[in-house]
Structures are given as structure tokens and as C-alpha cells.
Structure 1
Amino acid sequence: MQLKQRINAFVSLGKFLKQITSENNKFEAETVFRKAEAESGWFTLENIKFSLNSWGEALSEENLQQWVSNYKIEETEPKTIAIIMAGNIPLVGFHDFLSVLISGNKVLAKLSSNDKTLLPFIAEHLISIEPKFKGYIEFTEGRLKDFDAVIATGSNNTSRYFDYYFGKYPNIIRKNRNSIAVLAGNETEEDLTKLADDIFRYFGLGCRNVSKIYIPEDYDFEPFFKAMYSWKDIIHNHKYINNYDYNKAVYLMDSFPLLDNEFMLLKEDSGFSSPISVVFYEKYTSLERLEVELKIQSEKIQCTVSKTGLQNEVAFGKAQNPELWDYADGVDTVEFLLKLT
């Protein structure tokens, strides 16, 4: 199968994903969506459709051509790549799935129990578009075997197990990362409303969700809280409100000062990984000093949302819509795959 065939197949897949998430669609995929929703209380129908549509938008011919043009992808004997996928947000492992296949290799995927419906459904349709993919995609619930390299995504704890079991293979092993926003205090209402999307989409469970904001010492929170109000209905999700109530109670019992708008908590904290319903904040004295500090902490940060001119900053509202060439942890997956011998 030639690279052009693979690109064409994923372009057609992108069109399909946009079709089945359109408001007028009465497609049988609704059954699949409901099954995926039942697997995880965090996978709401809205978030499932958002993820599918985002990938549909990403899989345009222009995007795919621009992405692969950065590499010399030759037709060689395919390698089998074991992918151990996380399950924190819908289709969190799709980029690895795409990278392996677009580079001409085979996928051996171990799915999370929280997200074991959507990707097989998509793979089935991809095979119907391009039947030659049939021998390139395998899902397994058993022990991984007969593979050439590993891509594994998990927590700091699980990464130790991945290192132990897969350290002898070429690998990409991902740990915990969180995303941040750096505010200057001159953001528009539109900027902050888009930031609310970066914070609340997927209930804040993704590594690209903003879990911490950096603010000037004299920052006025009123415009920030006003913009966050666009996500006020998130409190009606029973899992979310349980986390909100629990975290609020714990912090109050420990006498931590909080800012509270009745559906999110702001806590001053030097950490990066805030609990669900909580956003940490930290004050800075100068952007120059902050940039130095962020470089030191770079291994903990997935992306930085800002418009202050920081290196590699992401625009407000774009954290959950990465480009195909925006790699998790800054590790170029395709380059890794092409270097396998």
C-alpha cells in the first residue's frame, strides 16, 4: 500500500467522522456513541462528538500532506508497533494509531477499559474505505507479543512498569503532564471564554487541559470568572459535582483559602496537577523570570496557552485542537517510527 493510498483513506475517514457528528445525522453510530458513553461516566455524548469532529477536521488532505511532507516515508517492510492506550478522554490514542499507520507500519493496540469501543469502530470503517488496512490493525485484550516497538501512555506510576516490561524494546513511554495558561491581565472577554474551553472540555481530564494559570500580582479575577460562566452547566454532571463538593470540603477543612464560583475552585498552589473542578494559580513578577522557570519545569508541561509571546505558546481555545504535528510530550512519533530498523 502506497503512502498516497493511506493519505486518501484517512481523508475519507475524516469526512466520515464529520458526517456522523453533524446535528442532522441519524447514523447508526449513535449506538456506538451510547456504548462508549456507558464505558466511562466522563465520556459524555457531547465530548465524544467533539473528539470525533476534531479529528474529522484534522484529517483534511491539506493537513495530512503538510504533516507527511516533513518526512521521507519510504515503502519498507512494516514493523509491528504495540500501542498501550490511556482512557482519560475519548480517542486519546488516535494520534498514535494514525502515526503508525501513515508511516506504513502495523498497529497492535491494547485499549483502555474506559475507551474500547470508539477506536475499533473507526478502524472498521477505515478498513471498509481501504481493505488493505485489514492486515495492519489488531486489537488485543491479552498479553502483548510479537512486536518491534512500543508506544505507551500512562501515569508516572505506570511508566515505571512500562519501563520494566518494555525497556528492551525501542519505545516512547509517556508520563503525567499538564497544561498551563499564562495571563497578562489584558486578555479580551473572547480570549478568556476560549480559555474556559481549554479548562473545562473533557472535564479537565486531558493532558492538554489547562490545570493551572499564571497571573500578574495585581490580577483582577472578575473578568476571568465572568468568562468561566460559559461552562456553568458542567456542575450538573454527577461525577463532576461529586469531585467539586469533595475537593471543596477537603480544602475548607484544611483552611486553604479558595476562590469559588459555585462550579470551579481556584487555589493558589505551586503544583501543576490540579484535581477535577480545581484550577491552580500562581502569581509572577515578570514574564522573563517566568519563562525561565517554565523552561526548568518543561517536562511537567504539555502545552502553554497564552498570547504573551512565550515560545511555542498555543492560542486561547486551541489546546484541545492540536495540529497533526503537535506531538505529545514534544516527542516526534513519526520520526521515532521511521528510525526503526
Structure 2
Amino acid sequence: MTAHNPIVQAFVKLGGFIQDFCESHNSGANTTNANFKEVLARAEQQNGWFTQENVLHSLGQWAHLLTEDNMATWLSQYAFEKGKNVKVVGIVMAGNIPLVGFHDFICVLLSGNKVQAKLSSNDTVLLPYLAEQLIRFEASLKDSIQFVEGKFDHYDAVIATGSNNTSRYFEYYFGKKPNIIRKNRNAVAVLTGKETKEELIALGEDIFRYYGLGCRNVSKIYVPKDYDFDLLFKTLFEYKDIVNQHKYANNYDYNKAVYLMSEFKILDNGFLVLKEDESFASPIASLFYEHYNSLDEIKGELQERQEDIQCIVSKGLMASEISFGQTQKPQLQDYADGVDTMKFLLQL
């Protein structure tokens, strides 16, 4: 598939449309698209976690990705058949962070298939609006995009994202069709104590972006036995204003109270609670930590538990690591759970 393909061009135009909106909105210009601005307001009304800052961050990432060069580089890895049978792909979308199912949506359309999307009740505003703009740029896509509220109609394959609990239901309902079913995963970071202040500030972005609700957010850190948390806490203080968001503050107060009543040993800086715990998934406003004896030991443990890990933030530990501050800036070829969605779709 070349960059001149009309569907590719429609997404490139959509990227430009989003970029123009973000730039005018951030500059406070009067040229800001009023309809788009209203969509942002409705998204936040529907879901209090979807603040304008976080929605604009998500949109800005998509504007950066949906360029002709980025699309061409990504799609050059695949062989696209002309005249292949068109399949209907049902997408069950999560609603934890803004536009979390957009990559699946893009993959289905670029693979030449049709989308039947079931939106999360927490995120029903953003994607339909972007789909409208996409159809405006390429009218032929109108017949390839359908949003459904109840059960899927006729469908040939399914991509479903949810929790470990919902995955059991997904496997029961969709197991007989080709599928990608995603479960809970989390991001972790491995610290050595030699991190610079700048790297720890960047780690704060991995922890706090989207209030820590994404599967790519760092929810646990591994530290050496003698690690001094003082520098980490001082550095993360850059993010102290996050506690002014009432939903975040409520979670911080609740989780701190639960830990204190349970007499767990915790570290606390007024907006983030650190708790020593072997689990990966820390509650909102909490960050789990675990000590390690050697980097080789922790590298082996992470490889053993890779089914539970979305990504690893570290410096010089392993080939697949992600740099500090980059977990919520995935590239087009960075597939959730390491499963190549485009390859799956092209083989249907």
C-alpha cells in the first residue's frame, strides 16, 4: 500500500486537521474549530478523567503519527493484496484513556476491511467525531465504518480490549472467530539510582499521564536494595498539581487511608503513595515498588512475567526497553501486547 492510497491520504488529512486544531486551541486563537472544541467539552463531561489537557495530549500524538512519512514507513512492512475478500471486524473498545481503540480502528480500515465498533460507555464522543471527518476526506469509507450499541451484527473477526475478567467473557462469545483478546497489562520501570533529574522528571510523565489509567503507564518501579527515594520524591514534586483534580484526589485519599488502616508501610509525598508490593497493577495515585539484588536477576524475572507487562522503562537493560518519558508516545508499529494487529488483519 502506497502513501497515495486514498484511505492512507484520508488519515494523513485527518492528522493535519487534528494538528491545526491543536495548534489553534493551544495558542488561544479565535480560529479554533468550534465543533471540535465542543467535542472536547462533551468528552470531559462524559468522563471526568478526560480533561482537555489529556485529550489534547492524545490528539497531539495522533497528529504527530498520521503523517505521510510515518504512514509510509509503517505500511512498507506489509504486503497488501489487491482484491482480497473484505471482512467485517468487530472492535470492543476500552475507555480508560482517550482514543485508546483508535489504532485498531486505523488498522482495520487500512487492511481493507470494515469496522464494526462497540464503544466504551466512557468514551463515545471522540472517535465518532474523528470518523465523521475521515469520511469527509474519503467518502468511500462511509460504508466501512459502523458504530453499534448492542451485540455485533454479522462479523468475521474480533479485536477486544478489556480486563482479565472481561477477557473470559470475550473468549466465550468470540472464541470461535479469529480474534485478538487483550487482558490487563502494566508498564514497569527499572531504576539503578544513577538516573539524572531529567530522567526522573520524564518518568513522572510515564506515571502520571492520563492519571496512570493506561496500560502503558508505569505502575511499578524496581529499585536496588539501598535505593534512596528522596531524589525521586523531590523530582516528582513537579507533578504536585495533579492532586487538584478531584477524582484523582479522592483516589489518593482513599488508597492512602486503606494502606494506613491496614498498617502497611508506605512512603507519601502528598499526592502519590509508594507501597512495597510484588503486584504490577497499583491503584490510582499509588506506585508499587520492589527491591532487586542485581540487574541480571530483575531482567530474568521480567522476561518470565512478560505476559503481564506492556512495556519496560529502563536505560541499557534490554533491547525492547522504552526511554524515560516515552510510554504514552507509542509509534504506529508499537502494537498492544506485542501482537501485530495489521498482520492478523491481513491474514483473515
For this structure pair, what is the TM-score category when the shorter chain's length is used for normalisation?
over 0.9
| 1:298 paired residue among 294, 306, 319 | 306
Runs of at least 4 residues off by over 4 Å: none
| 1:314 paired residue among 303, 322, 326 | 322
CA distance in 1, matches of 2:333, 2:188: 20
Per-residue CA deviations over 1:83-128 (Å, capped at 9, x if unaligned) read 0000000000000001101111110000001000000000000110
Shift of residue 220, structure 1, vs aligned partner: 1.5
CA distance in 2, matches of 1:172, 1:51: 23
SS of match in other structure, 1:21: helix
Give the counterpart letter for 1:21 in structure 2. C
Paired residue total: 340
- 1:183 corresponds to 2:184: no
In 2, are the aligned partners of 1:67 and 1:324 still within 8 Å (CA)?
yes
Shift of residue 223, structure 1, vs aligned partner: 1.7
- 1:10 corresponds to 2:11: yes
Gap runs ≥5 in structure 1: none
Per-residue CA deviations over 1:131-167 (Å, capped at 9, x if unaligned) read 1111111101121121110000000000000000000
- 1:61 corresponds to 2:68: yes
1:334 aligned residue: 342
Q: Report the aligned-residue RMSD.
A: 1.2
In 1, are the aligned partners of 2:15 and 2:64 still within 8 Å (CA)?
yes
In 2, are the aligned partners of 1:259 and 1:266 still within 8 Å (CA)?
yes
In 2, are the aligned partners of 1:40 and 1:115 still within 8 Å (CA)?
yes
- 1:37 corresponds to 2:44: yes
CA distance in 1, matches of 2:296, 2:316: 11
1:267 aligned residue: 275
User: For structure 1, which segment, 147-156 or 221-230, has the greater mean C-alpha deviation from structure 2 after superposition?
Assistant: 221-230
CA distance in 2, matches of 1:218, 1:302: 27
CA distance in 2, matches of 1:192, 1:12: 36
CA distance in 2, matches of 1:73, 1:219: 51
| 1:144 paired residue among 143, 148, 152 | 152
Give the counterpart letter for 2:325 in structure 1. G
| 2:244 paired residue among 220, 236, 245 | 236
TM-score when normalising by structure 2: 0.96
Give the alignment of 1:126-275 within 5 angstroms. Answer: 126-275=134-283
1:110 aligned residue: 118
Identity of aligned residues (%): 57
In 2, are the aligned partners of 1:183 and 1:308 still within 8 Å (CA)?
no
Give the counterpart letter for 1:220 in structure 2. D
- 1:72 corresponds to 2:72: no
In 2, are the aligned partners of 1:265 and 1:277 still within 8 Å (CA)?
yes
CA distance in 2, matches of 1:104, 1:200: 37
CA distance in 2, matches of 1:328, 1:202: 17
In 1, are the aligned partners of 2:89 and 2:157 still within 8 Å (CA)?
yes
SS of match in other structure, 1:16: helix
Shift of residue 252, structure 1, vs aligned partner: 0.4
Shift of residue 77, structure 1, vs aligned partner: 2.5
CA distance in 1, matches of 2:310, 2:336: 7
